[in-house]
Structure 1
Amino acid sequence: MTAKYAQPVAGVQEWTGLGVMCLATLFIAADAFVLMLALPHVAVGVAADGIEQLWIADIYGIVLGSLLITMGGLGDRIGRRRLFLVGAAGFGAASLIAAYATDPGTLIAARALLGMASAAVIPSTLGLIRTMFRDPKQMGVAFGIWASFYTIGAVLGLLVGGVLLANFWWGSVFLANVPAVVVVLALGSLVLPKNRDVDAGRPDWISSLLSLAAILPAVWGVKEASRDGWEPLPIAAIVVGVLLGVAFVRRQRALSRPLLDLSLFRNRSFSIPLLAMFIQAVLTGTVLLLLMLDFQLVQGLTPLQAGLSLAPGLVLSSLCAPVVGVLARRFRPAYLIACGEALVIAGLVLVIVAGTTSGPALFIAGFALWSAGGSPLLAVGMTLMVGSAPPERAGAASSMPQVSAELGNGIGVAVVGSVAVALYHAQMTDSLPPEVPAETAATASQSIANAAQASADLPPDLAQVVFSQAREAFTSSLQVVTGFTAVVLAGVIALIVSRLRHVRPLGQEEPAGQEESSPAADVTEELR
């Protein structure tokens, strides 16, 4: 390449701007993980029952996933720096509301606002990196640094959250975001460039709101049914959600520039990895949330000890990513992903076995295995999806894994978490002795966090019986959900191997006379 066509090299301002955006990524990632750690304390602090605890946990991902693509389009239209700063300010304000919430409804609303703010920050960051780092090598380094802050943020969130919960009230884990937000706003307004796409179309708010309106009634219906049975109102809510989902799909088919390009799903190198990512997010996200509750309420770990228990798995996952990149050039993606998913299943089996033993060691080993095993699906699956999309749709393709992960986590906690709550409730209802007061029994049957609080008011011998039954019921529900997850992921392995075994290792040329042996060759292929 001659100097005439050389891309401009990023300087001090651009790298400082990257640091600002990494700080924003840090507190977003930390906030997502610290809630898992803080949920037992939050449940007591705002007197949330089992279903309300699920709303606190999952509303963030549902809102974030529903608005992510639209916010990216809004940033293109009004300016990425402006949207980034507005999103960061919104995140700080929502953190303040969450920190001082006194009831479940306020905290759920604050978590929804946090999801909306994160949906503004994340795509703005990606767009700014693309425009600030024009040199391909620098852009690759910048994206690598930015991505690493997700893992760093998760680990710091667990560690700092554990320290805060050990010394302050539960709201401190949200309040800790505010100083970082102030730094991001002060520096971001100075070093981030103003840029927008003059040809950007209008954001499709109708489609985004329609997708959110389809998900929320269905999620509400499932949760209420798990608590009160299949009454007419929950069933009606689920039906409304399905009908709105159908309306969303019909709108996407009718638009010339849809929010979700359904034609991408005709290509199996796009649709199969995306489906696998969604299923894994739905199931393992719920198991992880239950695992954090188990560490603290069953194993008796402090918040800091619980956070440290997950740190090895998160670090191992980040170390596996570059190794997977090397292996992907030698082995077919289907078999590499299948081996990774087999590790995930092995980790889940360890979690099941750990429920019958004492101590968290097997839980920690199980989480480390499944964290490492998930790396091939994320890394190779992302490459397959972007590589299989036409160039003009690469942006939409690259955003879908994150949308899938956020929605999958949110929906998984809602649906699978509701099943876990129902299993716990049923076992507690059948096992509590008759001498337990009816009001105490009803409270203890809502969740294990409620059982810990309710049993504190009972005589010591009876309190021990109630909480022992709660631990047993919770462990049983964790084992059932984890076992179901392992079985479904075995089906995912079969799906990936059967549908993607023709795809050659990444970067290898297609042999003469062979067809459909690379992701790019799948562009026109439809699912049979």
Structure 2
Amino acid sequence: MADTAPLETGGIHAPRAGARAWFALVVLMLPVLLVSVDNTVLSFALPKIAIDLAPSGAEQLWIIDIYPLVLAGLLVTMGTLGDRFGRRRMLLIGSTGFAAVSVLAAFAPTAALLIAARALLGLFGAMLMPSTLSLLRSIFRNRDQRRLAIAVWASAFSAGSALGPIVGGFLLEHFAWGSVFLIAVPVLIPLLIAAPLLVPESRDPNPGKIDPISILLSMAAMIPVVYAIKSLAVDGPTFGAAAWAILGLGMGALFVRRQLRAESPMLDMALFRRGTFSGAILVNLLSVVALVGFLYFVPQHLQLVLGMSPMEAGLALVPGMLAIIVAGLTVVPISRRVPPHLVVPIALVFSFIGYLLVAFTTTGHGALPLVIAFVVLGIGIGAAETISNELILSSAPSAKAGAASAVSETAYELGAVLGTTILGGIITALYRGALVIPDGVSTEAAHTARETLAGAYTTSQTLPQPLGSVLWDAAASAFESGVMVTALIGAALVALAGVIAAVTLRTKGSR
């Protein structure tokens, strides 16, 4: 039976869930675990992919970005469809498609086909994520239980990120890079078996009519804006980037206008007038930008600059991932007594310090400073993510849990895009600007070396010595100089998130 009855907003006196609900939570963690493993593993597999498929700098960013780009463009649509047709149903469809396309990605022979497979993964991933979070809203009606469930759910992202480097590192040392995509199959099979048995179906009892125009407008708003940001990061200010940004913003304005006038809007714009909702979304967004940006450039530094294997680099980041998990769970009892506008900024002070450690200890100090920096960074990110996700979900009417969850997930995935695009694009631009090509390197080899750090590594191995070593030393030095500036920008983003939390999460509804 589908759960279509209106639910309480979710207070501490709401009915408490039983043991079956917690087993359902375990099932719902599987797709979250999968997506986070996929994102982390890909970052670690990128050097091998770059060497094997020889993508350009733009293609290398697209390999990572196309998945969250498509996913971000479709999340609101899929969340709304889940509210209408059933959140569990969307979860099962998304899981089946994700597993099938993961196999295609594993055997992609070119960078273009890998990008296409990642785009399809984004389509099916958009069905997964809003469903998992919105189902928690219907399963855990008691707010204390729901806060803990969301902390556990959010920790699955970190658990997957911690597990990804270890499992991925092992696979990358023994098998081809395509093996990292095959992880999806054994993770999703138990989900497809257990979800129909343990997870109750739920949907909006009064979903209203499907609005195809709103669906198209939501996609037409998200995709051009993100593409414009990518173009700006890779190619600098261009007419094309400005045109895409204007198109996306224009479509976004039309989307908002249509929602305000619709009798049954696809997305209730009144939610954004609530400080806890809009503020939590911004905190969520900026926190993810900081985290994903870190995970973009640090694996490259560990593997290419410091010469660590994928397994060694993965193990180096495990303490930071564990810090995110512990902080996300530890903040639950704290948040019952201390309001969000104090807890979140204090937590993000740790992340700010973590980025400063990256900025000033990366060059010439080995891997240990990065390990410590990620632990400190993770404390703030873990706490901020748990509180922001809970506030977003509890601020929305229960019948619209899918749409609200989609907004939360959109912020997460947009943050992933921006983390790679902004911080990744900045470090790429700084690297290219700082790289001094030594005399004797051909024009073609110089172009490859300037494209990416992996390209410089590959090129240096083909050149006669000592010319190859001179080129690689110059590339490593250029990359390290870019890390410092990028880390300072990351620190500024974390500081901005803390200020937003202090200002917007003060309302009575945030308690």
TM-score under structure 1 normalisation? 0.84
Which one of the candidate residues 446, 466, 471 is aligned to 1:466? 471
Q: How far apart are the structure 2 equivalents of 1:195 and 1:391?
A: 10
Q: How does 1:134-145 map to 2 (within 5 A)?
A: none
* 8 A Cα contact 2:106 2:179, kept in partner: yes
Which one of the candidate residues 152, 163, 167 is aligned to 2:174? 167
User: Could you tell me which residue of structure 2 aligns to residue 448 of structure 1?
Assistant: 453
User: Could you tell me which residue of structure 2 aligns to residue 3 of structure 1?
Assistant: none
User: Could you tell me which residue of structure 2 aligns to residue 377 of structure 1?
Assistant: 384
Give the drift of 1:371: 0.5
* 8 A Cα contact 2:49 2:177, kept in partner: yes
* 8 A Cα contact 1:129 1:143, kept in partner: yes
Which one of the candidate residues 98, 112, 118 is aligned to 1:111? 118
Q: For the pair shown, which has the larger CA radius of gyration, 1 or 2?
A: 1
* 8 A Cα contact 2:171 2:180, kept in partner: yes
* 8 A Cα contact 2:271 2:278, kept in partner: yes
Q: Give the match's secondary structure for 1:184.
A: helix
* 8 A Cα contact 1:389 1:520, kept in partner: no
* 8 A Cα contact 1:421 1:447, kept in partner: yes
* 8 A Cα contact 2:456 2:472, kept in partner: yes
Cα deviations by residue, 1:135-159 (Å, 9 ceiling, x for unpaired): 8888777656544433322222121
Q: How has the CA–CA distance of structure 1 residues 251 and 466 changed in structure 2, closer, same or farther, with 3 Å as cutoff?
A: farther
Give the drift of 1:290: 0.8
Q: How does 1:181-330 map to 2 (within 5 A)?
A: 181-188=188-195, 196-197=203-204, 199-330=206-337
Q: How far apart are the structure 1 equivalents of 2:138 and 2:249?
A: 40
Identity %: 37
Q: How does 1:65-84 map to 2 (within 5 A)?
A: 65-84=72-91
Q: How far apart are the structure 1 equivalents of 2:391 and 2:98?
A: 33
Which one of the candidate residues 423, 438, 442 is aligned to 1:437? 442
Q: How has the CA–CA distance of structure 1 residues 477 and 83 changed in structure 2, closer, same or farther, with 3 Å as cutoff?
A: same
* 8 A Cα contact 2:222 2:248, kept in partner: yes
Q: How has the CA–CA distance of structure 1 residues 101 and 258 changed in structure 2, closer, same or farther, with 3 Å as cutoff?
A: same
* 8 A Cα contact 1:74 1:202, kept in partner: no
Unpaired runs of at least 5, structure 1: 1-5, 504-515, 522-528
Q: Which amino acid aligns with 1:280?
A: S
User: Could you tell me which residue of structure 2 aligns to residue 54 of structure 1?
Assistant: 61
Q: Which amino acid aligns with 1:465?
A: V
Q: How has the CA–CA distance of structure 1 residues 134 and 214 changed in structure 2, closer, same or farther, with 3 Å as cutoff?
A: closer
User: Could you tell me which residue of structure 1 aligns to residue 495 of structure 2?
Assistant: 490
Q: How has the CA–CA distance of structure 1 residues 409 and 204 changed in structure 2, closer, same or farther, with 3 Å as cutoff?
A: farther
* 8 A Cα contact 1:64 1:118, kept in partner: yes
Give the drift of 1:185: 3.0
Higher-RCO chain (CA-CA 8 Å, sequence separation at least 6) = 2
Give the drift of 1:348: 0.4
Q: How has the CA–CA distance of structure 1 residues 475 and 248 changed in structure 2, closer, same or farther, with 3 Å as cutoff?
A: farther
Q: How far apart are the structure 1 equivalents of 2:407 and 2:55?
A: 33
Q: How far apart are the structure 2 equivalents of 1:123 and 1:387?
A: 14
Cα deviations by residue, 1:348-382 (Å, 9 ceiling, x for unpaired): 01111222223110001001101101233223334
* 8 A Cα contact 2:224 2:248, kept in partner: yes
Q: Give the match's secondary structure for 2:338.
A: coil
Give the drift of 1:337: 1.8
Give the drift of 1:321: 2.4
Query: 2:33 matched to 1:33?
Result: no
Query: 2:357 matched to 1:350?
Result: yes
Which one of the candidate residues 125, 129, 139 is aligned to 1:122? 129
Give the drift of 1:310: 1.4
Give the drift of 1:176: 2.4
Cα deviations by residue, 1:403-424 (Å, 9 ceiling, x for unpaired): 2111111133223322222221
TM-score under structure 2 normalisation? 0.87
Q: How has the CA–CA distance of structure 1 residues 182 and 358 changed in structure 2, closer, same or farther, with 3 Å as cutoff?
A: same
Q: Which amino acid aligns with 1:296?
A: Q
Q: How far apart are the structure 1 equivalents of 2:49 and 2:365?
A: 26
Q: Give the match's secondary structure for 2:451.
A: coil
Q: How far apart are the structure 2 equivalents of 1:243 and 1:139?
A: 37
Q: How has the CA–CA distance of structure 1 residues 259 and 295 changed in structure 2, closer, same or farther, with 3 Å as cutoff?
A: farther
User: Could you tell me which residue of structure 2 aligns to residue 478 of structure 1?
Assistant: 483
User: Could you tell me which residue of structure 2 aligns to residue 525 of structure 1?
Assistant: none
Query: 2:373 matched to 1:366?
Result: yes
* 8 A Cα contact 2:102 2:181, kept in partner: yes
CA RMSD of aligned residues (A): 3.0
Q: How far apart are the structure 1 equivalents of 2:334 and 2:147?
A: 19
User: Could you tell me which residue of structure 2 aligns to residue 87 of structure 1?
Assistant: 94
Q: How has the CA–CA distance of structure 1 residues 43 and 203 changed in structure 2, closer, same or farther, with 3 Å as cutoff?
A: farther
Work out the number of aligned pairs and report it: 498
Cα deviations by residue, 1:38-83 (Å, 9 ceiling, x for unpaired): 1111222222122211111122222223322322332233333432
Q: How far apart are the structure 2 equivalents of 1:343 and 1:257?
A: 42
User: Could you tell me which residue of structure 1 aligns to residue 509 of structure 2?
Assistant: 519
User: Could you tell me which residue of structure 2 aligns to residue 506 of structure 1?
Assistant: none
Shifted more, 370-379 versus 298-307: the winner is: 370-379
Q: How has the CA–CA distance of structure 1 residues 321 and 218 changed in structure 2, closer, same or farther, with 3 Å as cutoff?
A: closer
Give the drift of 1:286: 1.4
Q: How has the CA–CA distance of structure 1 residues 335 and 356 changed in structure 2, closer, same or farther, with 3 Å as cutoff?
A: same
Q: How far apart are the structure 1 equivalents of 2:140 and 2:220?
A: 37
